[in-house]
Amino acid sequence: MYKVKFYKGEYRERQKQANDDKCVAYVEQHFNSAGAGANYTVVITGSNASSTSMNWGQWYAGAVSREFNLPLGGDKGVMKGGYDGRGDGNIKYTNMPAILLEPLFVSNPQSAALIRTEQGQMRLAHILCESVQRFFQNGGLIGFSVGHKYKISRPNDRGADVVGGGSEADYAETVLLKAKALLEAIKEPQLEREIKIMRGTEVVYKTTIDADTDVRWDGVRGILNI
């Protein structure tokens, strides 16, 4: 149902190749970097972003925010056109919806620890996979781009250093590879999702909801909003 292709080379050439291949969606994975205390999640869209790109980016950022208990950067998690234009050229030349992901800060010790773990990488991969399922339910070719890596002009670029070891680009690629495996394992559209409330290993309540329903837990009032 879904097929994933990684694109390499200069950013504009990657987008041209994705256009030629008629991808239905395009994702470029990065991580953010600033001071040790920087701690929010944000998605960059092109300055010419479609409503689908904007909504997709907001959903992804919101899901990361809830999963890791992080504030949202930008406007509801989206920064249209990038940081004073930085990041805009990475995705604005696609013919399909496109988002550039900066879910966590590699410069923040707590976030960096998550990025370096298998569990943290899988949590990010699952969020990306679910976002694609929600917004592109008919399947198709999904274009993936690893930020910084595989550029002809700067072949040794790996982005920012990750606190505790490793590079931004290598961990970004790891997350995308995990998301690729998840997406390509899907055999049919996600029409419904099953929601379970558990007490230990016991299922105390179970129901099905539409695939695109947003589920939020209000920890203050103890309410699950569906």
pLDDT digits (tens, 9 = 90+) for 34-93: 999 999 999 999 999 999 999 999 999 999 999 999 999 999 999 999 999 999 999 999
Q: Where are the domains of the chain?
A: 2-184, 192-225
The pLDDT of residue 220 is 52
For residue 214, pLDDT beyond 70:
no
Global pTM?
0.87
Q: pLDDT-based confidence at 193, cuts 50/70/90?
A: low
Contact in structure between 115 and 104 (CB atoms under 8 Å): yes
Strands 25-29 and 140-146: parallel
2-184 CATH choice from 3.40.630.40, 3.40.50.1860, 3.40.50.720, 2.40.30.60: 3.40.630.40
| Secondary structure element (H or E) that encloses residue 130, with its range | helix 118-135
What are the phi and psi torsion angles at 190 (to 5°)? -85, 95
The pLDDT of residue 224 is 75
The pLDDT of residue 136 is 97
For residue 213, pLDDT beyond 80:
no
For residue 116, pLDDT beyond 60:
yes
More confident residue, 143 or 219: 143
pLDDT digits (tens, 9 = 90+) for 151-168: 999 999 999 999 999 999
Find how far residue 148's CA is from the centre of its chain.
Answer: 16
Residue closest to 23 by CA, chosen among 214, 217, 199, 183: 183
For residue 110, pLDDT beyond 60:
yes
